[in-house]
Structure 1
């Protein structure tokens, strides 16, 4: 059964679809390959060395991030940071920071596909994620990406003052 509960499998997106969709929707983004992921930064005009994290697309496990099982064929994770208020409204209390190499304690199955959940490592910072989002889930995530981009714009403006 899909995340919406309709029982009908939804088409899945690829990492390239996700990246292209974010780049088309939001101005001022730059993309950097780092730490086994494609990181999208808000950095209009390339003013900052990298910019402000906006979203990431992770396609493989890392030394301190293995909870999602990204070594499974075709599995990727889309991540973004939202406000504490939004995080708590959607997922409950923000967890405490895990020890290095650890995973946040939320009770979630971090290998589940097409479900909004806490980021397994950075949930304590208000980051959320979805593994292999369907088209339906992707559209439902738009308000979260809108919020994340607005937050990145505010942080960028503070940093370049």
Structure 2
């Protein structure tokens, strides 16, 4: 007697989920995440390969501002290659931010940015030897589930799309 083959399972397309958010809603959600979240993952590249660390950050309306120690691997990588990627959110609510990072002396930053330092554990007023990392978004991708993957790029060239 020969085995009976299992019935074929028909493919019905991508899993159902909520419809994609309009561009304006997605932008508002990203800006809310920038002001409401406290931590991100920052990825840089160096001669030994990729390097990713968690950092506290503050959004000044233009840049994601972080502090780290001057002698860190992250700073060494950014001195070689000024580009980085930040990741915020969860696997189901993803925001990726790509752009150049400028290394700045904390005292040189405008007062409105220095006022945000209280949100950061490495506040230069309390912790000596830190330097500011200012990530200027050039490209932002964001998605909540598979239905949003096709339109995930919401900023390109530093300009919001849609």
TM, length-normalised to structure 2: 0.27
Larger Rg: 2
Which protein is richer in helix relative to its size? 1
Which protein is richer in strand relative to its size? 2
